[in-house]
Chains A and B, each alone.
Chain A
């Protein structure tokens, strides 16, 4: 099921989902805003049918949608290696991992729908390029070591980003993140174990791991987004409790976590400026090439066109399945519980 994105119309969204304005007085906004602010202030969760400011709703939808799209597109770089996995064990692990990414996308689309977003509309926005996904997935996976490095660095960075989001002020998003973070832990550990295995192998295998690390290190640091002074929405998002730390804080945390892991692995992180700063209690590191980041975000990364073309083709090729399922359901009303 997970290779296709099911579709529905807005009439499907009733119960647990949004009808926020139902029965609310036109002039009661001030009081509603105060109640919303107080809920955030007390560290409580906003739940789907609560009143919330329009900007909060649209920002959370955008954040969740971008995250969901990233999970869906994120199946491709690793899916690329399923047919060429070096052993049945690695193949089973990789299939399970890619299936998890699809699952994460589904949890997140489900959370976005509780805010009144329409699934089909979100899919269209991804396919039309009107909503983005993480720039990291626009880099190619050239060797099997990339599968390991993606698990270690890319999923490691994702965990860094996502653990604080388990406390997001928006309840359904926070709950989806709890589930996702549990599963990401398997992703990171399988990657690290893969790399440890390769590092115990031949010189050529060790060189592959180093090469993959060299290619993915900087793009992984870009996953945290632009530096704080170029991230204009951070303050509002933190005030709303939908972001818990700034981009630079999370990037630093990731570097600090990763350096000792690289030592254990025996690879060199490709940054000559990387060194421990005892005064700060953190590692110093070189500057990220933000021009490259912006180019990839704007569609000019190595694989942007390929990823989108693949996604569109998968969607179109799945159309007959969606049509057949709908036709079957229409012919079997008993299965829908419509008869007595």
Chain B
């Protein structure tokens, strides 16, 4: 097998770790692997050498659909003017208990 084929044969995987029970998986980085099983094993060796995780997800980077990068992007604009979605929007007398 030519070196070029080998190169194109090792896709990029993004790695997500659950640090401990009760927490979400969090993105920690990426690595290259020939297939998902190898990606998982490499992720264990690379990202959990000191008990950093109890569960690993690996996802082929090519399979991720992401929003466009700019935080000012209109994609997020719909939530920008809806202050009434936050509890602090509502004025309640200070002597109302448990609220």
Contacts and interface: CB of A to CB of B under 8 A. Distances in A.
Contacts of A2: 45-46
A16 B1 contact: no
Interface of A: 1-2, 6-9, 11-17, 20, 22-23, 35, 47-51, 96, 99-100, 103, 106-107, 110-111, 113-114, 119-120, 172, 175-176, 183, 319, 322-323, 325-330, 332, 335-337
Given A14-B62, A15-B63, A103-B46, 4 more contacts: A2-B45, A11-B11, A15-B62, A329-B34
Interface of B: 1, 3, 5-12, 14, 27, 29-38, 41-42, 45-46, 49-50, 59-66, 68-70, 72
Contacts of B3: 319
Contacts of A103: 45-46, 49
Nearest to B15: A110
Given A1-B45, A336-B35, A322 B66 contact: no
A120 B7 contact: yes
Main secondary structure of the interface of A (DSSP, over half): helix
Q: Which of B29, B64, B65, B70 has the most CB of A within 10 A?
A: B29
Contacts of A50: 69-70
Contacts of B10: 6-8, 12, 322, 325-326
Contacts of B70: 35, 50-51
Nearest to B45: A1
Nearest to B30: A110
Contacts of B61: 12-17
A15 B64 contact: yes
28 contacts: A6-B31, A7-B32, A8-B10, A9-B8, A12-B10, A12-B12, A13-B61, A14-B64, A15-B59, A15-B66, A17-B61, A23-B68, A35-B70, A35-B72, A49-B68, A50-B70, A110-B29, A110-B30, A113-B30, A172-B29, A175-B29, A319-B3, A322-B6, A325-B10, A326-B9, A326-B10, A335-B36, A337-B60
B77 to A, nearest CB: 16
The 6 closest A-B pairs by CB, nearest first: A15-B64, A49-B69, A326-B9, A6-B32, A9-B8, A12-B12
A16 B8 CA distance: 18
Contact of B32 (A12, A20, A175, A323): A12
Contacts of A176: 29
B37 A119 contact: no
B12 A113 contact: yes
Contacts of B69: 20, 47-51
Contact of B8 (A8, A14, A17, A332): A8
